[in-house]
Structure 1
Amino acid sequence: MGEGEGEHAIGAIVYDCLAARVGEVMDREEGVYFLRPVSGGQEWCTRLENLSPATASVRLSDAVAQVNANSRRRI
């Protein structure tokens, strides 16, 4: 299957608007995308219509949120 318009390649960094999370595309099958956090962690799945390319500002916001969450867990 070739990449159609609107599809995201494996390895692409995308924003899942349904989960409000940034992830890396690990796999895709019949319109379902399997993502994992860029810094590692548990995968989740979502549909193509929930995805958009992650902008630099979205990626930065996600990274800051991850650092903040990690610091709260250490307290």
Structure 2
Amino acid sequence: MIMPPVGSYAVDLRSGRVGVVMGHEGPYVQMRPYGGGREWDAAPGDVRHATPSERLSAATAYANARSRGEVP
């Protein structure tokens, strides 16, 4: 299995969340939500590269939440 590189966009298959890979700590992939927020750990077997469509969807959801004042 190939771990996604730091800085790439990936999907946590357990939660369906798209995030940015922040690092690899022990057996886990550390991810942060698109646009920032609290990091979470995912098992390498539960992570895959995000498709362009998934990246666009995450960016749109973030922009919409920001326009509603839900994120700083």
TM-score interval w.r.t. the shorter chain?
0.7 to 0.9
Unaligned 5+ runs, structure 1:
none
Distance 2:6 2:70 in 1: 31
Confirm or deny that 1:40 pairs with 2:36: yes
Deviation >4 Å, runs of 4+: none
Unaligned 5+ runs, structure 2:
none
Distance 1:65 1:72 in 2: 12
Identical-residue share of aligned pairs (%) = 34
| TM-score, L = length of structure 2 | 0.78
Count of residues in Structure 1 that have an aligned counterpart in Structure 2: 70
| TM-score, L = length of structure 1 | 0.75
Give 1:72 deviation, angstroms. 7.0
Q: Which has the larger radius of gyration?
A: 1
Among 15, 22, 25, which residue is 2:11 paired with? 15
Is the CA contact 2:12–2:48 (under 8 Å) kept in the aligned structure 1? yes
Distance 2:13 2:50 in 1: 10
RMSD over aligned Cα, in angstroms?
1.9
Confirm or deny that 1:69 pairs with 2:65: yes
Distance 1:11 1:61 in 2: 18
